[in-house]
Amino acid sequence: MAFLSPLASLVALAVVVPLAAYTLLELRARRVSAHLRLEPPPLRTRLGVPGAIAVVAGLLGIAAAQPVISGTRTRVGRSDAEVYVLFDTSRSMLAKKSHGSSDRLERSKRLALHLRQSLGDVPFGIASLTDRMLPHLFPTLDGDVFSSTLRDAIGIERPPPSGTEPLATDYNSLADAATNNYYKPKVRRRLLVIFSDGESRFFDEVVLGRMLKQGRVRVLFVQVWDPREEIFLKGNRPDPGYRPDPQAPQSAKRVTNAGSGGLIGEDERALVSKAKAFVGSGPETKLREQRTRVSLGPYVALAALLPLGFVLMRRNL
C-alpha cells in the first residue's frame, strides 16, 4: 500500500480541538459532582468518547493521505523497442470529404489501432500535438489501456493550443520526443508514428533533425489529408474560414527527412510494413507493468462513520 498525499494526513491533528473541549467539559462535570457531593463515574467508563473521536480523526487523516493498492502484471514483449503514436489534434483534423464521412482524426485513430494490434509485442505510447507535444500514455503492452486512452483522451484541441495563430500545429515541438524522456533510456529502437495532415506553422527541419538524431528517434509520417476536404459546421455548411494548406505535402516530407523515416498515406498495409521494418526483430523478455490502482480513501472515510456513530449515541444518552 502507498500514499499519494502523505502530508495531507496532518489533518488528523485537528482532533486536538474536540478532545480539548471534551476534557474541559469532563473537568467541569467532576467539579459540579464534587460540589454536590456526588460520586462521579469511574474515569475508565468515560474514555470511550475521546477514544472514538481520536479514531475518527485518525481514519480521516489516513483517507486524506489517499492510500492506494497497486497491482502489477507480467507480460512478455520487446524491451529494446518502443513506439509512440502521435496525433495532430488541431482543428484542421476535423476536415473530411463530406458531412457524413469520417474526419481526419477518426481515420487516424483507426489506423493507429490497427498498427497496435499488428505489433502486439512492442510497447506503444500515445501523445498529441498542437503547438506543443503532450504524452497521454507511456509505452505499454496493455492493449486495453491503449484502446481506452485512444478513445477517451484523444480529441480535437484536447488540450487547446496556447496561441491564437491560424495554424495551431507546430512541428518544432516534435523534438520533445527526443529530449523529454518519452522513451526508456535503454530502448534502442525508438519510433514516432505521426498522424497529421501536414498543415503546420514554419519549423526548422535542420534543428528538428539534429534533436531527433541525438535522441535516436525515427519518424514515420502518416499524412491524413486530401486537398478537397472541408470542415463542416452545423447545418452541413462548410466552414468558410478553412482552406487546405497547399504546402502540407512539402511540410510532411520535411518532417520525414528530419526524422530519417518514411512518409505514407492512409494505407494500413504500408503502415504496418514500414513500422515493422523500423522496429525490426529483437529478444522478448518479461516486463512488469502496473495493471490496477485501487483507491482505499473512500472506504477508510466510510469506516470513520462507525466510531462517529458511537460518539453521537453516547451524546444522546
Tens-digit pLDDT profile for residues 260-276: 999 999 999 999 999 99
pTM above 0.85, yes or no: no
pLDDT at residue number 304 = 83
CATH number of the domain at 80-282, please? 3.40.50.410
Report the residue count for the chain: 317
pLDDT by residue (tens digit) across 158-201?
999 987 777 889 999 999 999 999 999 999 999 999 999 999 99
- pLDDT surpasses 80 at 314: no
Give 225's contacts (C-beta < 8 A, 6+ positions apart): 104, 197, 198, 199, 244, 248, 249, 252
pLDDT at 191: 98
Cβ contacts of 108 within 8 Å, gap of 6 or more: 87, 88, 93, 195, 222, 224
Reported as a single tens digit per residue, the pLDDT across 273-298 is 999 999 998 888 876 655 566 788 88
Contacts 24+ apart (CB under 8 A), 262-266: 262/219, 262/220, 262/221, 263/221, 263/223, 264/220, 264/221, 264/222, 264/223, 265/222, 265/223, 265/224, 266/107, 266/111, 266/222, 266/224
Instruction: Name the residue with higher pLDDT: 289 or 307.
Output: 307
At residue 58, does pLDDT exceed 60?
Answer: yes
C-alpha cell at 258: 528530419
Which band of pLDDT confidence, cut at 50, 70 and 90, is reported for residue 220? very high
Alpha helices in 65-198 (DSSP H): 104-118, 143-153, 176-179
pLDDT band at residue 68, thresholds of 50, 70 and 90? Answer: confident
